[in-house]
Amino acid sequence: MKNRIPSMMVILLVVLAVSCDKLEQPYASEKEIIIDTNKRKVLLEDYTGMKCVNCPAATSAAEALVELYKGQVILMAVHAGYFSEPDASGHYTTDYRVAEGVAWFNDFSLISNPMGMVSRVTYNGKKAIGAGSWAEVVANVAREDKVATIHMETEYTPTSRHHINTTINTRFTEQLEGTYHLTVCILEDSIVGWQKNNDTLVGPVPDIENYLFNDMLRAVLNGTYGDQLTAAVDTSQVYAKSYLYTLDESWVPEHLSLVAFVFNNETKEIVQVEKKHLIE
């Protein structure tokens, strides 16, 4: 049910440094990507909002990168910032925000939409990255060697559909300096709602009545900056963390995924990320 741009295509975007950054008309160029399983996986965080007219084009660019890198890039759409705030009445009354997502938006100074982060690396002195630079930064990070692996074991029983039990096993393959934490999120696909838009290549203007929101952050299982795995990396050890979580009744289990990422707690850079559908 994903609303994706065809694989092997990268959207090249130019971003103006203004509030609710406007994107020029996107165009696609073919580029061959060779996926190496020994390379690092990349978390692309798309900070978006239903009232941001330029966000649909940015999300399309992000989805194109996911398709291009065939599983090496994981997308998480975080609704935060002024353009995500619901109205008191009208079409835009739904609140898609999550407290942890709002905290990330503020802590990392994303300022406006559309903006994002790529494995929370620093680019031009900042972690907040405009959509026009996502492809470049993703390419740089995706070339780096893998330094950790994440394996998720998840139990879900349809008869007790409101509960999931997941264990995240992390193993470091390189001796890293610093303290490392784990964050675990729930994402949902195929959420239909209203979205403002100014790009006819993406959909109707000025509003898309039945916009398909995918990869939407729904919850963080273990707090804004997760749980500590280790203060000193031991490559011979498997670090296991287990979580029991009660799902919101409005969420559709078939559309849910878990995303787990490991990061350096001092720099906040994410060294590895993994995604698993709740129902395979």
Q: pLDDT value at position 32?
A: 58
Given a contact cutoff of 8 angstroms between Cβ atoms, the answer to whether 196 and 245 are in contact is: no
Kindly state the percentage of the chain with pLDDT values over 90.
Answer: 83
Asked, for residue 137, whether it belongs to a domain, the answer is: yes
Q: pLDDT value at position 147?
A: 97
Asked, for residue 2, whether it belongs to a domain, the answer is: no
Per-residue pLDDT tens over the stretch 91-131? 999 999 999 999 999 999 999 999 999 999 999 999 999 99
Closest CA relative to residue 251, chosen from 213, 224, 196, 280: 213
Given a contact cutoff of 8 angstroms between Cβ atoms, the answer to whether 79 and 98 are in contact is: yes
Asked, for residue 145, whether it belongs to a domain, the answer is: yes
Range of the domain at 104: 9-277
Asked, for residue 75, whether it belongs to a domain, the answer is: yes
Q: pLDDT value at position 159?
A: 75
Query: d(Cα 179, Cα 165) in Å, to the nearest integer?
Result: 26
3-state secondary structure 95-140: CCCCHHHHHHHHHCCCCCCCEEEECCCCECCECCEEHHHHHHHHHH
CATH number at residue 142: 2.60.40.10
Residue 269 amino acid letter? E
Asked, for residue 264, whether it belongs to a domain, the answer is: yes
Per-residue pLDDT tens over the stretch 248-275? 989 999 999 999 999 999 999 999 999 9
| Number of domains composing the chain | 1
Q: pLDDT value at position 1?
A: 39
Tell me: pLDDT of 25 over 90: no
Asked, for residue 23, whether it belongs to a domain, the answer is: yes
Asked, for residue 1, whether it belongs to a domain, the answer is: no
Q: Edge-to-edge, what's the strand order for the sheet holding 148-156? A: 148-156, 163-172, 238-246
Q: pLDDT value at position 162?
A: 76
Per-residue pLDDT tens over the stretch 146-172? 999 999 999 998 777 678 999 999 999
Asked, for residue 239, whether it belongs to a domain, the answer is: yes
Query: d(Cα 46, Cα 213) in Å, to the nearest integer?
Result: 12
What are phi and psi for residue 48, nearest 5 degrees? -135, 175
Query: d(Cα 173, Cα 234) in Å, to the nearest integer?
Result: 9
Given a contact cutoff of 8 angstroms between Cβ atoms, the answer to whether 258 and 241 are in contact is: no
